[in-house]
Structure 1
């Protein structure tokens, strides 16, 4: 049998065992904290529920008792309050005495003839306190709470008396003490919660005992008093009660003058649980420290001798080999462990491949792996160190090319299709410039290419080649089974030749280096992006200001979203059939504190480019749905709301869930929500968009095709799309009053849409002539400045008053 050397396997097992012990200790520590955190959360929930139950016991049950007591007095069969005579008064006295088991303070009957009957069972000042609240005549019982530190906390009821013919016969005024120690004790016995009734900030009934003394007469803790008494806010959470930690819930009690006259409290002491937790944590921490200390001393020595030193020798050897000192292997010591021996053997094989691998790596460092084009490293290597005065070899023209919407294509079709698209773009550019030997194509980042030329600067050639690139990408690109319409945005920068005659002393400032040319070309390309993409632009200095404004607005937009500085305006829609407004379109507006009004097209484009559009769109959807739901509720109306949806929102995985959640949270009927999408958005993501819109339609949410006529304008799509409405773009109707062809086109579009069951909304109506023509066609709804511009929610009611 072959002798087998000792291996590291068993030793590593010991090492892992020690780590496991340490992990278990830490795990126990974490588990204990989680357990006690869950316990606290459960106790907090119990306390929050307990305060509600305590309110019912202290206030609502007493209200019910007073109401029952009053109804017994006014029962026609008893005839206790029908007549103001000695017999009735005696019966009334007996009834009060028999029923007074609820800490009744007083009963006062005031008759229509001015006479009174009073029974005061406690401090007469309580009746005086109740009489201070003058309540106008009412036909229903009226309850209120009042009191102070001296008189305590009391519930009062003013009950109207009527005769047999239901005519007013007088008033019954009663009071009952809310600080009932039995009910406070009942709360502790049934719910295991401490309970207290405060009059102002003084405990007048409580279950809290400290140092074997009941804490009646003590005051509310100052940290809570400010919130509950001064700010009139309820509070649930942690607090110190007379120096001890509690989970608590406080709710203020207000009198008719909106003054806090008392507080209800329930709580759970967590002194004991904190003590137990701290003890357990201390014991585990001590144990963990001892284990760690023992393990460190033992394992540190073993690791240094058996693993660290051998591995360090291998590392030092590899470092020397990386510097070409391959002879170090000739003096390699004999391995102690099998694994180290295997590593040494592998090193011999690796050295033989180092030279070949190094050459391959150098090649790969300069070539893009997807397109096979030279990369950014190659570009810098060629031009970065060329003197600016070398007119023959210095960089003269740079085309900075960005593939439009590559991220969108990756999301829609997958990264494999996106990579293939980049490969095709590289082939197209390389083929286009194959006849221009002074040009070279580079892929410099994810979706960006650069075309660079040395030797001479030719403005006419720049225009010609940039247009040629744009035209080349008008053709559709086929990738597998996908047909993709791609476009590019191009920025151009360049250096004119330096002939040494432009300056008296040559400073080279008339020439830009590689970094400057790339930056300028990128700025020009970004300007093309801002202007709508699929075009080219040559750099000029004014672009610096535009880019700076864009960057500044992007930061401001983030803050505006965070601080809720944006506002939604509402433009009414006019229903021709009912001759009234029946809904609105939600339009976001931004009035910047320093820059003034920012056009929506500008900051929405910034939001799309900076990934803020989803957050912005979600806010608009929720805010407008909440507003219209509340408006309909308060005005007893049924107006609908239309919200524009961006491509990025629609393609988001949880878009449908967000919409349904907003409707549920705001209480808006789904049939009153209309989502507006553009033709371009729908056509470019048909398969994904169709399923999402179909789901929303099944939820009874309306879908409108916005700006119809500005995109593909294909009527054949309308019959198969899950939409309910077509919004005809303003450009269709601008000249329908003067141009018969425009009128005929609009008439045919409306007729086709109606034939397939779609509603027609016409945008941009500004004149009476346009309105009259559209009435005759007819369309369903009108939207435009003829009726109203978009207005803030404060001015909406005034606009709606014209056509209620």
Structure 2
């Protein structure tokens, strides 16, 4: 196919696609407009119908009230005819009297203890009929006997008289029953005449909602049905009441108020009726019923008894308009395509000739003739293209020189890290192999360095802060190295150092120097950041004569350093392979521990030193591995932090502890609170506040009984972020405690700005109260500072009476520790609580009395 034909075909395809796209948009846009117009018309129709129904209701209500008044007249007439003592009235008298007064039946009702019964009646079904379970009817009877006046909202109320709403029999829906009840205190019974009347049904048939709906449908051939739905009962099974042995249902409780429910799509219709009434807005949708496509609209009507009008129209009205417009668009599109084919052929001829000339010269350039030039004198795009080809031909000569320089740059980036300028792992590995081959008899030290909690800085302050830290760490370590020693960045926050001709002692010294240098704070955009490192060291060829193995050994030693609390260095030992395997087993097991319910919570009580009362518990997680047995939290919590599993584990702890604390409160420990530790990884979650709110809502625990404990290390990163998060938690009503105070980066500045309620003195200070005067001074200072800040002060790790005595003398608020109780399971706490409380009260009282 020639280029000219190809261009003409391309133009035609493009225009065709544009026309298809335009016609599609036009189709759906028109359809939406037609549907909105249809909905508007249905809203207007529903409004007209509701107004007509409201007018018809006045006539029906007037007729019903007229019947009620007639029943009252009959009741008064019956009172004048009958003996005031029911014992002197016979059923036969009532039968004659009902015929005489023109009512269906007359019943006499008396009050018997906690029931009201129909004793005498012209209707055998109402004799000895109990009315105790008749709901508001029974209430009306009671009010008649007591006050001679009925105040319930249902029914017709006149002096000494009440007439209940009309009921429809389930067995015979072609007539209605209406009862009247009269009592003025002159008789010892209520007189109840009732009439079976079809007048209301006749009026309903003439001017009622059914007649209105039927007339509206007959006047519009596109209307298929109009139905009135009761949103309270539609979709639910009917509720009947037993009257005289017959099932009846009140008119106002019928699911279909008027019309017939044709074109049913039951589930969708029920949902639409309830949604319309709930939102107060029209709800519409398309549906296919028995192969007929219809459009349904449900419009809520607000009145004394709200209802929903459902209108079904034939979707063919909308579809016919859409089909007509689609046909018009197709005709127009065909005309446009014919025109485009003609124009595109003319344009192709004008474009192709100079393009062929340009292609001929471009082929010459492609073969290396960079000096070739195209000569086309045109002022359009092809003329511009020929000029660009000429420029390209000239520039290619210059690019060949630049490519040589680029190759050198690419070679550099293949071996060096673009951020720090350090060599990468590829270069490091290559250099290490060369040194190993050339220095076979000399030892080399490999230091594997990983920055502690680097991800926390990245998440809190962003990657720009992380990049700053990586470059700053590089700049601090490089001056510590001698000539020939290599530092490489091998990925993320991991570095590796190679010390040729190095002894174990020298590697130890370098590691200590690095750790000391990194302890100094880093300053980034006004924030004082602290960064530590974990370092693993392996010696070549002592630990292995293969470079890859030595690097892996250093990596394992680095993980051992992290397990030892971070900010330290460890030399590789063969047993670390077992530790790595154990770590892998623990990590795999921990991912399944929640599903297998292997975690459990223990609770250590906190004691108030003023009253000697147990005020709450600190929740402490325990893991019982099915094969390895109990796993220490000091072993699996750091691993959970590194893997990110601490988030799901922490949420489980929060939910379980809150639920358990609420159970204790329900059992009688109403003021008991619960304390839960938040890890740094949990705290940096964006949805932490929402997660805490959700747990409190789900468990029902009052927020004032939940205390979240955070460590001082959290305060190191982005104070504004931390303060905003703490304020959001405080706004929930949750209490905040600073845990292990005094062991981290204690700062009066963040204490002044942080919204917290409690300070917890670390147990390392409490442990040495009796032997180290410096620790007692520190505790005195912390307690005094807490009192000045007007926050609660708690001491952890209290194990002896002397420690308790000292803390009481310094006016510490609360304590916890083995002196009172070890961490307990739920069962142990429940079983020993009374004894624990007595012990706490005795010990606190003992020293407070001195």
Common topology (TM > 0.5): yes
Helix, strand or coil: the match of 1:541? helix
Q: Distance in 2 between matches of 1:771 and 1:290?
A: 97
Instruction: Report the equivalent of 1:722.
Output: 755
> Where does residue 732 of structure 1 map in the other structure?
765
Q: Name whichever of 459-468 and 240-249 sits farther off.
A: 240-249
Q: Deviation of residue 734 (structure 1)?
A: 3.8
Aligned to 2:449: 401
* Structure-2 change in CA distance of 1:424 and 1:133 (3 Å): same
Residue number among 370, 381, 388 corresponding to 1:329 in the alignment: 370
2:487 aligned to 435, 438, 441, which one? 441
Match of 1:548 in 2: 584
Distance in 2, Cα, partners of 1:292 & 1:185: 54
Are 1:355 and 2:413 matched, yes or no? no
Correspondence for 1:373: 422
Unpaired runs of 5+ in structure 2?
1-8, 41-63, 144-151, 155-167, 174-182, 197-203, 217-224, 240-252, 271-282, 299-306, 377-381, 839-850
Which position in structure 2 is the counterpart of 1:702? 735
Map 1:739-778; keep pairs closer than 5 Å: 745-765=778-798, 774-775=807-808, 777-778=810-811
- Return the alpha-carbon distance in structure 1 between the equivalents of residues 36 and 617 of structure 2: 47
The whole-number CA distance in structure 1 between the counterparts of 2:354 and 2:85 is 107
Q: Distance in 2 between matches of 1:716 and 1:584?
A: 30
Does the CA-based 8 Å contact 1:198-1:204 persist in structure 2?
no
Deviation at 1:542, TM superposition (A): 1.8
- Per the TM alignment, residue 428 of structure 1 is displaced from its structure 2 partner at its CA by 3.1
Q: CA 1:280–1:41 in structure 2 vs 1: closer, same or farther (change >3 Å)? A: same
Unmatched segments (≥5 aa) in structure 1: 1-10, 43-64, 153-161, 226-235, 250-263, 499-509
CA shift for structure 1 position 444: 1.9
CA contact (8 A) 2:118 2:127 kept: no
Cα deviation for residue 570 of structure 1 reads 5.8
Q: 1:645 to 1:547 in 2, by over 3 A?
A: closer
Aligned to 2:302: none
Q: Which residue of 1 aligns with 2:515?
A: 470
Shift of the 755–288 alpha-carbon distance from structure 1 to 2, 3 Å rule, reads farther
Matches within 5 A, 1:267-666: 272=315, 327-330=368-371, 336-339=382-385, 341-346=387-392, 347-348=395-396, 349-382=398-431, 392=440, 397-412=445-460, 415-435=463-483, 437=484, 439-452=485-498, 458-477=503-522, 483-496=528-541, 511-514=545-548, 516-537=549-570, 538=572, 540-553=576-589, 555-556=591-592, 560=595, 572-587=605-620, 599-614=632-647, 617=650, 637=670, 639-651=672-684
CA contact (8 A) 1:680 1:712 kept: yes
Partner-residue secondary structure (3-state), 1:545 = helix
Deviations 1:140-159 (A, max 9, x none): 99x9xxx999899xxxxxxx
- Structure with the higher fraction of residues in helix conformation: 2
SS at match of 1:329: coil
Tell me the alpha carbon deviations over residues 497-534 of structure 1, each in whole angstroms, 9 at most, x when there is no partner: 79xxxxxxxxxxx64354x5444433433343344322
Name the stretch that deviates more: 647-656 or 468-477: 647-656
Answer whether contact 1:643 1:675 (CA < 8 A) is retained: yes
Q: Deviations over 1:760-792 (max 9, x none)?
A: 223344566655664554332344452573555
Instruction: Sort the Cα spacing of 1:36 and 1:759 in 2 relative to 1 into closer, same or farther, 3 A.
Output: farther
State the secondary structure of the residue aligned to 1:434: coil
Question: Counterparts of 1:795 and 1:30 in 2: how far apart (Å)?
Answer: 68
CA contact (8 A) 1:753 1:760 kept: yes
Cα distance in 2 for partners of 1:292, 1:795 equals 86
Greater CA drift, 744-753 or 305-314 = 305-314
CA distance in structure 1 between the partners assigned to 2:660 and 2:354 by the alignment: 69
- Report deviation, 1:314: 11
Q: Alpha-carbon deviation of 1:754? A: 1.8
Contact 1:457–1:496 under 8 Å retained in 2:
no
| 2:153 is the alignment partner of 1:117 | no
Classify the secondary structure of the residue corresponding to 1:451. Answer: strand
Cα distance, 1:705 vs structure 2: 1.4
Partner SS for 1:366? coil
Judge conservation of contact 1:184–1:206 (CA < 8 Å) in 2.
Answer: no
Number of residue pairs the alignment of both structures matches: 705
Residues 307-346 of structure 1 show CA distances to partners (whole Å, capped at 9, x for unaligned) of: 999999999999x7xxxx8x25356766855236425513
- Between the aligned partners of 2:105 and 2:772, the Cα distance in structure 1 is 87
Cα distance change, pair 622–494 in 1 and its aligned pair in 2 (3 A): same
SS of the aligned residue for 1:534 comes to coil
Is residue 570–residue 793 contact of structure 1 (8 Å, CA) maintained in 2? no
Out of 777, 783, 789, the residue aligned to residue 823 of structure 2 is 789
Q: Following the alignment from structure 1 to structure 2, what is the Cα–Cα distance between the partners of residues 284 and 779?
A: 88
Give per-residue Cα distances to partners, 1:94-120, cap 9 Å, x unaligned.
99x99x9xxx99999574389743779
RMSD: 7.4
Deviation readout 1:701-749 (Å, 9 max, x if unpaired): 5332112233235578645543221122333334657877756654553
Distance 2:297 2:785 in 1: 67
CA deviation profile, 1:609-664 (whole Å, cap 9, x unmatched): 23455565566657766776798689794554444333345455665676678778
- Between the aligned partners of 1:378 and 1:697, the Cα distance in structure 2 is 52
Shift of 1:545: 0.7
Do the aligned residues in 1 keep the contact of 2:534 with 2:558 (CA within 8 Å)?
Answer: yes
Cα distance 1:735–1:313, how it changes in 2: closer, same or farther (>3 A)? farther
Distance 2:436 2:737 in 1: 58
* Whole-angstrom CA distance in 1 between matches of 2:258 and 2:759: 69
The answer to whether the 8 A contact 1:402-1:449 is kept is yes
Native 8 Å contact 2:19 2:333 kept in 1: no
Change (3 A) 1:480 1:268: same
In 1, are the aligned partners of 2:655 and 2:695 still within 8 Å (CA)?
yes
Q: Tell me the equivalent position of 1:261.
A: none
